[in-house]
Amino acid sequence: MSGLLVAGGPVIPNFGKPNACLKNNGWFCTHWIHEHWHDILQPALIQHIQLVVIAVAIGFAISFPLAVIGYRFSPLDPVLGVFADFLYTIPSIAFFLLLVPLTGVTVTTVEVALVSFTLFIFYRNIVVGLRSVPPDVLESARGMGMSRRQTFWRVELPLARPAIFAGLRIATVATISIATLAAFLIQDGLGAPIFDALGTPDLFHTELLVAGGLAILLALTADFLLAGLQRAVTPWTRVR
Amino acid sequence: MPTEAAELVFDEATKVYPGRDGAAVDHLSLTVPAGEICVLVGPSGGGKTTALKLVNRLIELTSGDIRIDDRSIRDHDLTELRRSIGYVIQQVGLFPHMTIEANIGTVPKLLGRPRSWIKERSAELLDLVGLDPSYAKRFPAQLSGGERQRVGLARGLAANPSLMLMDEPFGAIDPIVRARLQDEFLRLQEELRKTVVFVTHDIDEAIKVGDRIAILRQGGRLAQYDTPQRILDAPADEFVADFVGRDRALKALSLRTLGELELAPLEAGALDGLPQLPADTNLRDALAVLVGARRDTLVVLGADASPLGVVRRADLIG
């Protein structure tokens, strides 16, 4: 019964009460999943969602005004675009390390890196969306006496919605995947159990599969929900 | 709720684009009487669209003035001015994300009309431009080009403006649908009696639609401003004669219909094989039918398709 523990040396806490499945390092030990849903998996999933939602929300909040500025004052667009592009290209783990001297080994460090990553996706998509508004539509808005502000909120922004939502979906899914790297720095998110499993001597299969699977499931669910929301707010794109 | 049609006056209206040689519109002076259609026509570079956009200040005057019912457009608040003028353009510019009803209701909404009013008004306008009420909830992408242009017209009329600006409104539509839209537009105008400024590059459309035609030449100078009949009968100069074409005598025929001619009485049994045309056919088309049929006489039909009398080729062109 205790063969694994005896042979394995130091006790690996995540294993819990060993049974046959665990002893064989099975790929899907339901007993373990059941036992550790509340103390390992569910908290990791919730932390992961928090990491992503905060990063995407802040990323959007920063990109939106920048994109409107880049759209309105086109000479600024390349400058803002290149800056966002630069942040986007820094590898995430390198970014974490670069930030540690400034913000320490904290969730802030992770969020700053994740937000920086989303900026480029949001910025480009919002600008492209606003630019996609046909000139005749803008002319008729002006000719009928819409103010600039009215034209923006009633015409330009709604027509940019498909591109903005495309950006939101890409940014969300990409951030869900990159947020697993947060565990490189802090014990937060689905990356934590994944890294734990990777750290065991012979890779704890069940934990690796379940935590990784949750990350994939989360990404698919988020994309599905956002796609549904997009359909709901862009009814004109579905007609023919 | 008819609004009085407005009188529109161009008074030495001039537009010079900075950094460009010569004016786009050069000291244009003309008066469009209330309730009439004035067609601006001319070659590209003639400044006709610029002249139109000067009126709702999409383009600002360099000098001179434009007055609507004696009030300078400069004295109006910009957005109020535009909301008081119907604006219809070639590419229509419908808002793709709004239903047809919301598109038609654009200006009323800007003017703060209640939702129920807009709903009612847009149903009324759909009917006016010959579209089924079910179109209200559709999106522009679900309509054909001709239907979209009808909606564009309805949208221009929505706030019941006293002045309409129409920039090649039927320019992007195939000839058959265009002719139908022109006819319907003229029928609407019989009823609405708006003051209309209508831009086209097509002299035939100008002759058909216009109560008066302003022919603009390169550099935005007015070459002639007159009724279609006068322009065809007595072109002011070489340029106008050239622009209206060598077939201007034929075009002049299109201004009159068979019903306006004195008809010869029918001779019993003599109708056999003669072309038969309704009284509202224009003389140009009637002549074309005669030439095509190699005949000298045609029968004119009344509204109930009963023969009214006959017309000879010589009467048509006389």
Number of compact structural domains in chain B: 2
Query: Over 60: is that where the pLDDT of B93 sits?
Result: yes
Compute the distance between CA of residue B307 and CA of residue B276 in angstroms, rounded to an integer. 8
In a domain, A26, yes or no: no
CB A151 within 8 A of CB B95: no
In a domain, A183, yes or no: yes
In a domain, A39, yes or no: no
DSSP code of B74?
G
Give the whole-number percent of chain B exceeding pLDDT 70: 98
In a domain, A41, yes or no: no
Compute the distance between CA of residue B160 and CA of residue B1 in angstroms, rounded to an integer. 8
Task: Establish if B43 touches chain A: CB-CB under 8 angstroms.
Answer: no
CB-nearest to B141 from A140, A150, A240 is A240
pLDDT for the residue A12: 52
pLDDT band at B39 (very low <50, low <70, confident <90, very high): very high
pLDDT band at B22 (very low <50, low <70, confident <90, very high): confident
Query: Over 50: is that where the pLDDT of A10 sits?
Result: no
pLDDT for the residue A11: 45
Task: Please report, for the domain that includes residue B262, its CATH number.
Answer: 3.10.580.10
* Mean per-residue pLDDT of chain B: 91
Residue B212 or B248, more confident: B212
Do B44 and B70 belong to one domain? yes
Do B243 and B312 belong to one domain? no
Q: Among A204-208, B175-179, B298-302, whose mean pLDDT is lowest?
A: A204-208
Cβ <8 Å between B58 and A239: no
Residues of chain B with Cβ-Cβ distance to A235 below 8 Å are: 139
In a domain, A15, yes or no: no
Do B292 and B307 belong to one domain? yes
Instruction: Single out the residue of A60, A77, A29 nearest to residue A170, CA to CA.
Output: A60
In a domain, B173, yes or no: yes
- For B189-220, write each residue's pLDDT tens digit: 999 999 999 999 999 999 999 999 999 999 89
pLDDT band at B251 (very low <50, low <70, confident <90, very high): confident
Q: Domain of A102?
A: 59-235
In a domain, B124, yes or no: no
Compute the distance between CA of residue B117 and CA of residue B160 in angstroms, rounded to an integer. 13
What is the sign, positive or negative, of the torsion defined by CA atoms of B193, B195, B197, B203? positive
Do B180 and B77 belong to one domain? yes
Q: Provide mean pLDDT across the span B119-139.
A: 93
Residues of chain B with Cβ-Cβ distance to A140 below 8 Å are: 87, 89, 92-95
pLDDT for the residue B3: 60
Token pair recorded at residue A155: 């015409």
Residues of chain A with Cβ-Cβ distance to B83 below 8 Å are: 144-145
Do B293 and B166 belong to one domain? no
CB-nearest to A144 from B87, B138, B141 is B87
Number of compact structural domains in chain A: 1
Compute the distance between CA of residue B294 and CA of residue B63 in angstroms, rounded to an integer. 57
Do B40 and B169 belong to one domain? yes
Distance from CA of B91 to the nearest CA of A (A): 6
Compute the distance between CA of residue A33 and CA of residue B133 in angstroms, rounded to an integer. 60
Query: Over 50: is that where the pLDDT of A68 sits?
Result: yes
Residues of chain B with Cβ-Cβ distance to A137 below 8 Å are: 93-96
Cβ <8 Å between B141 and A137: no
Do B194 and B271 belong to one domain? no
In a domain, A5, yes or no: no
Query: Over 90: is that where the pLDDT of A140 sits?
Result: yes
Residue A209 or B225, more confident: B225
∠ CA(A37), CA(A38), CA(A40), 5° rounding? 70
CB B307 within 8 A of CB B276: yes
In a domain, B115, yes or no: no
* Mean per-residue pLDDT of chain A: 86
Residues of chain B with Cβ-Cβ distance to A144 below 8 Å are: 82-83, 87, 106-107, 110, 155
Residue B39 or B256, more confident: B39
Do B248 and B197 belong to one domain? yes
Cβ <8 Å between A143 and B94: no
pLDDT for the residue A177: 92
Q: Provide mean pLDDT across the span B60-67.
A: 96
Query: Over 90: is that where the pLDDT of A192 sits?
Result: no
Query: Over 70: is that where the pLDDT of A15 sits?
Result: no
Query: Over 50: is that where the pLDDT of A49 sits?
Result: yes
In a domain, A137, yes or no: yes
pLDDT band at A2 (very low <50, low <70, confident <90, very high): very low
Do B205 and B264 belong to one domain? no
Q: Provide mean pLDDT across the span A197-224.
A: 88
Q: Which amino acid is at A13?
A: P
Residues of chain B with Cβ-Cβ distance to A158 below 8 Å are: 97
Task: Establish if B96 touches chain A: CB-CB under 8 angstroms.
Answer: yes
Query: Over 90: is that where the pLDDT of B16 sits?
Result: yes
CB-nearest to A145 from B110, B138, B155 is B110
- How far the first Cα of chain B sits from its last, in Å, is 45
Report the residue of chain A nearest B100, measured CA to CA: A236
User: Biggest alpha carbon distance in chain A?
Assistant: 83
Do B77 and B179 belong to one domain? yes
Do B166 and B312 belong to one domain? no
In a domain, B202, yes or no: yes
Q: Provide mean pLDDT across the span B57-76.
A: 95
Residue A105 or B132, more confident: B132
List, as one string, the DSSP characters of B192-255.
H--EEEEEES-HHHHHHH-SEEEEEETTTEEEEEE-HHHHHHS-SSHHHHHHH-TTHHHHHHTT
| Last residue within a domain, chosen from B207, B236, B253 | B253
In a domain, B187, yes or no: yes
Query: Over 80: is that where the pLDDT of A19 sits?
Result: no
| Last residue within a domain, chosen from B202, B228, B253 | B253
Task: Please report, for the domain that includes residue B23, its CATH number.
Answer: 3.40.50.300
In a domain, A178, yes or no: yes
Interface test with A, best of B95, B111, B135, B167 (most A CBs within 10 A): B95
Cβ <8 Å between A159 and B97: yes
Q: Domain of B75?
A: 8-84+161-253
| Last residue within a domain, chosen from B207, B224, B253 | B253
pLDDT band at A6 (very low <50, low <70, confident <90, very high): very low
pLDDT for the residue A7: 40
Do B245 and B217 belong to one domain? yes
